[in-house]
């Protein structure tokens, strides 16, 4: 590893990684390597303290009991909070939005204190949101529709400190009637989209990489197979 290697933190994939969300870290690494930028994935598992020195972090979704374990761990080892505080980009998928919020209620109605990086609270809804979701991004710098697969019972309400990542055109999204999907607050970006989200939304992947590298843009990649996959998903 050289000093310029971009270090991607894959946070707690042993408890938070439903639907192959760990693939988001692989996509980030590969999109850097294709551009001849050294990159490596640093996997942080449950016994490990969370380092605050990495360049970018990703967290996946989880079932209620697993997300409780993750919440406790992140509060005990606040490296992620320190890193986000200095502007390191953090991608939070599904349960990770809930965990990084102020608090969330599990499907059995128990309220759990969150990590507090996001001005967001989550309560269980009457029906589970399952299926494809398509959205129009609200985040400046993104223009292509975002697509993914959602499966969650929690509905997330954003407070004034946070904004939506996108507006839902198909599917449920945050699920509290405001038409929003996902959340953005400072360097933390959350979405209910599995997929993995970054494999299905390369523009979002490059947006996060630009933030991690402190650059305005990256050389485009010509990947017809990704374009084909996106066209199929958007048509379906």
* Residues catalogued as catalytic: 94, 194
Q: Are 56 and 5 in contact (CB under 8 A)?
A: no
Touching ligand GLN, residues 95-114 (CB under 6 A) = 95
Which is closer to ligand GLN, CB of 64 or CB of 206? Answer: 64
Report which residue's Cβ sits closest to ligand GLN. Answer: 61
Which is closer to ligand GLN, CB of 44 or CB of 59? Answer: 59
| Three-class SS of the chain | CCCCCEEEEEECCCCCCHHHCCHHHHHHHHHHHCCCCCEEEEEECCCCCCCCCCCEEEECCCCHHHHHHHHHHHHHCCHHHHHHHCCCCEEEECHHHHHHCCEEECCCCCEEECCCCCCEEEEEEEEEEEEEEEEEECCCCCCCCEEEEEEEEEEEEECCCCECCEEEEECCCCCCCCCEECEEECCEEEECCECCHHHHCHHHHHHHHHHHHCCCCCCCCCCHHHHHHHHHHHHC
Count of residues near ligand GLN by CB under 6 A: 12
Q: Does 181 bind ligand GLN (CB under 6 A)?
A: no
Which is closer to ligand GLN, CB of 122 or CB of 211? Answer: 122
Q: Does 118 bind ligand GLN (CB under 6 A)?
A: no
Surface-to-core class of residue 97, CB atoms within 10 Å of its CB (0-12 exposed, 13-18 middle, 19+ buried): buried
Which is closer to ligand GLN, CB of 50 or CB of 99? Answer: 99
Selected range binding ligand GLN among 25-33, 39-47, 151-159, 225-233, rule: CB under 6 A: 151-159
Which member of 13, 18, 198, 200 binds ligand GLN (CB under 6 A)?
18
Residue 72, annotated as binding a ligand: no
Q: Does 63 bind ligand GLN (CB under 6 A)?
A: yes
CA gap 218, 206 in Å, rounded: 7
Q: Does 183 bind ligand GLN (CB under 6 A)?
A: no
Q: Does 31 bind ligand GLN (CB under 6 A)?
A: no
Q: Does 132 bind ligand GLN (CB under 6 A)?
A: no
Q: Does 151 bind ligand GLN (CB under 6 A)?
A: yes
Q: How far is the CB of 185 from ligand GLN (least distance, A)?
A: 19
CA gap 93, 137 in Å, rounded: 16
Selected range binding ligand GLN among 29-37, 61-69, 77-85, 196-204, rule: CB under 6 A: 61-69
Q: How far is the CB of 91 from ligand GLN (least distance, A)?
A: 13
Answer whether the bond into residue 196 is a cis peptide, omega within 30°.
yes
Annotated binding site: 128
Judged by the rule CB under 6 A, the positions of this chain that interact with ligand GLN are 18, 61-64, 67, 94-95, 151-154
């Amino acid at each position: 590893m050289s000093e310029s290697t971009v270090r991607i933190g894959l946070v707690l994939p042993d408890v938070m990684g439903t639907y192959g969300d760990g693939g988001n870290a692989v996509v980030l690494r590969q999109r850097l390597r294709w551009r001849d930028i050294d990159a490596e994935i640093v996997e942080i598992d449950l016994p490990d303290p969370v380092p605050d020195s990495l360049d970018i972090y990703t967290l996946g979704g989880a079932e209620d009991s697993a997300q409780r374990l993750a919440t406790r761990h992140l509060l005990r080892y606040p490296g992620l909070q320190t890193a986000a505080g200095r502007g390191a980009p953090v991608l939070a998928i599904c349960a990770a939005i809930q965990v990084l919020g102020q608090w969330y209620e599990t499907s059995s109605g128990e309220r759990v204190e969150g990590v507090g990086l996001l001005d967001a609270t989550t309560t269980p809804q009457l029906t589970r949101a399952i299926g494809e979701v398509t959205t129009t991004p609200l985040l400046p710098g993104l223009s292509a529709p975002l697509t993914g697969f959602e499966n969650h019972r929690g509905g997330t309400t954003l407070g004034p400190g946070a904004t939506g990542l996108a507006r839902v055109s198909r599917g449920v999204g945050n699920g509290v009637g405001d038409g929003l999907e996902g959340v953005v607050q400072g360097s933390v970006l959350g979405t209910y989209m599995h997929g993995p989200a970054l494999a299905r939304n390369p523009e979002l992947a490059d947006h996060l990489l630009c933030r991690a590298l402190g650059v305005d843009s990256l050389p485009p990649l010509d990947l017809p197979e990704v374009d084909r996959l996106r066209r199929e998903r958007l048509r379906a």
